[in-house]
A and B are shown apart, each in its own frame.
Chain A
Amino acid sequence: MNSTATDPGRRAVLGGGLAALAAPALLLRAARAADEPIRIGFPTPLTGPFGAEAKDQVRCASLAVAQFNAAGGLNGRMAELLVRDDKLNPGEAATRTLELIEQDHVACIVGSLSSSVQLAVNEVTKARGMLYVSISQSDTITEASDFGRTTFHEALNPHMTAGAVARYVFRPGMKVAILLADYAYGNEMAAGFRRAAAAMGGVEIVLEQKHPFGAADYSTFLPRLRSVKPDVVCICNFGRDQANSIKQAVDFGIKRLARIVVPVLLYNQRLAGSADAFEGVVGGANYYWTIEDRVASAKAFNDAYRAANNGAVPSDYGAYGYSGVRLMLEAMRRAGGVAPDAVIRELEGAHYDTCKGPETMRACDHQAIQSVLILESKAKSAMTSPADLFTVLATEEGKDANLRSCADLGHKT
């Protein structure tokens, strides 16, 4: 009898005790969440063929975080960058992204450096309502089937880049031959050239020659390019393929015959290759350090980078790392917190200038509308310093008309 009487009492004591123990723990947890750092997950291929680009992205992203913290953070809440090596492998990137979300409780993900890897990261983030800023080229990620409301694409895309280069180089009556690496990047870039040629009218694509991704020997493809006697040869490949194919194209005398054009002229690949092979090659870029002469934000970015890296200048893909992280942190500051809905509201349609002049985050597909630089590789004799690689021939300012429309991408408008 006594025991039944004491039972509720014991329960109450136990329950009360547990509650008393739990309450400070819960309060502590709530308090901790407020001054916990804002963690930014940064998957990037530190190992593999794009290692040089990835390492510069890390340097630039760290710079953006340091500047945010030096300016007081988000009401005293500091930011922290968690760099993970995705090994240029979509499966590895997906695993790393899961870890960053589930284990490290990041507030957002920024990064990845290839079409397939960013699509893998995006698949994981969009299912979990996690903010993601992609900083490498892809036409697919903003299409309705892959797009999620937390997906933002800060990089240029092949349609914009190839389009800008084509509008600068192509003239009616020209014959164009395209050499492309047979994977997403090559095909999307070639499609960009094709669409620009069609829009211009009178430009004839006389040959589209595919080569396998990672090819070392181009001697079977180059004679076909020569035989069609083009005015312009567009070489659509990335990284090491670009350096190899341009060098061999020069050896085959293509440069004497036609103008060599690439959609993206990479700072690091030009450094890895030689000035002689690249001389006169024209291509597009999101960033090149000499725009500091006319763009104040580029000057500030370069100066901060120089101070942190012994006077070196940032690369094109490095600039993506900076602008991707800074874009997100500034939106969080404006939103007054890291809640995805509030941050998305701040980002959609936002006008901003992180390091290359004005950009706009298009509301319907979250693509950053921005300028494309048209660069030409300098001759060795014209270089005034080891970092003086290119001449900026023109700047195509960002405008909506240069992007595929949201209706084209499958978005409801």
Chain B
Amino acid sequence: MSAPAAAPLPADQPALLLRWRLPLLAAVLATLPWIAPSQALAVNILIYGLYATGFNLLFGYTGLLSFGHAAFLGAGAYGTGIALARLGIGWFGAIAIGVAASGVLAVLIGALSIRSRGIYFSMVTLALAQLVYYIAFQADDWTGGENGLRGLTVSRLRVGPFALDFLNPVVKYYVIFGFVVAALWALSRVLNAPFGAAIEAIRENEGRALACGFDVRRMKLVAFALSGLVCGLAGALDALHLSIVPIDTLYYQTSGLAVMMALLGGAGTFLGPFIGAAIFLLIEDTFSLWTSHWQLFVGAIFILAVLFLPRGVWGSLIAWHQGRRA
């Protein structure tokens, strides 16, 4: 398996960090609405952080570079949006439908694409995701086509006897925060389980993993499906957040975004992609407020990050910490 050069990182992160990574992230995220420039941006960080983390399960941990993860973000978003706008299903059911749709799509695309390896795997995922894009583009009775899906604004969330004002940015943030932390907790458990070790074994040396008796193909498919589910949840939450589903959600640039965020933060680390997403969105937001030539500065920062922090911001921090202890 020709794993991407920059991605893998020795798994032996400090044990303390391993145990506390989730509470640490949750604590930082809980204060985010008051640190970030705006609450809308804070919600975006949650959603894209989850998206990049889901992508990283496949890229950083299993060593499979997918260029088609926009399909899962989009399936989650459109599944939720169509359930809300066209089928009139409640918000919780709509999220479930979105995540399920994304899971089914991930199994389909995964089953087809894991037959190939390396660059071919990336190309197959890209091609299949573009297929999904064009289907959504043409099926405008269901998806709204190029205009995007509208009419799915949720203003009140009914939770048992309570009704939450979902238009209130703080309420919205903490509802989405709840979903994101739950998903990250589940993901963290999966990675700490033997399954997590097994997919890392596949990443390090697929031949040896096979020789050790691992069912490599099944492991890859399960990792693919899990990754799709997490990204689908991110998409579902995005639909609720923005109250629209733009067709761009499915476009290949959205797939590229996950790769960039994971690389920027540190692929193969649990917190890295989340940090990458936060840095990316914060830089973009601040610089585009400041100058219309923001792309120039964002590009320069990327080049610097790739040159001097090849393991990503968080990955390099961990490596530096380990180097000091050794």
Contacts and interface: CB of A to CB of B under 8 A. Distances in A.
Contacts of B148: 90, 116, 119-120
B38 A102 contact: yes
B248 A94 contact: no
A91 interface: yes
Given A95-B242, A120-B148, A183-B146, 9 more contacts: A89-B248, A90-B148, A94-B246, A99-B38, A119-B244, A120-B242, A127-B243, A128-B167, A146-B150
B249 A91 contact: yes
B169 interface: yes
A102 B167 CA distance: 10
A305 to B, nearest CB: 20
25 contacts: A85-B288, A85-B292, A85-B294, A89-B246, A91-B244, A94-B243, A94-B244, A95-B41, A98-B38, A99-B37, A102-B38, A102-B39, A103-B38, A103-B40, A115-B146, A116-B147, A116-B148, A120-B150, A120-B244, A123-B150, A127-B153, A127-B243, A183-B145, A184-B145, A184-B147
A99 B40 contact: yes
B151 to A, nearest CB: 7
Contacts of A89: 246, 248
B295 interface: yes
Contact of B167 (A46, A127, A140, A146): A127
Interface string A70-95: 00000000000000110101110011
B41 A99 contact: yes
Q: Identify whether the interface residues of A are mostly helix, strand, loop, or mixed.
A: helix
B240 to A, nearest CB: 12
Contact of A98 (B40, B155, B248, B288): B40
B292 A47 contact: yes
A87 B169 CA distance: 23
A145 interface: yes
Nearest to B39: A102
Interface of A: 46-47, 55, 84-85, 87, 89-91, 94-95, 98-99, 102-103, 115-116, 119-120, 123-124, 127-128, 140, 145-146, 183-184, 213
Contacts of A46: 292
B237 interface: no
A127 B155 contact: yes
A80 B183 CA distance: 42
B86 to A, nearest CB: 12
Nearest to B169: A102
Nearest to A54: B292
B244 A123 contact: yes
Contacts of B57: none
B44 interface: yes
A91 B292 contact: no
A202 to B, nearest CB: 32
A294 B231 CA distance: 58
A91 B249 CA distance: 8
A16 B248 CA distance: 55
A119 B243 contact: no
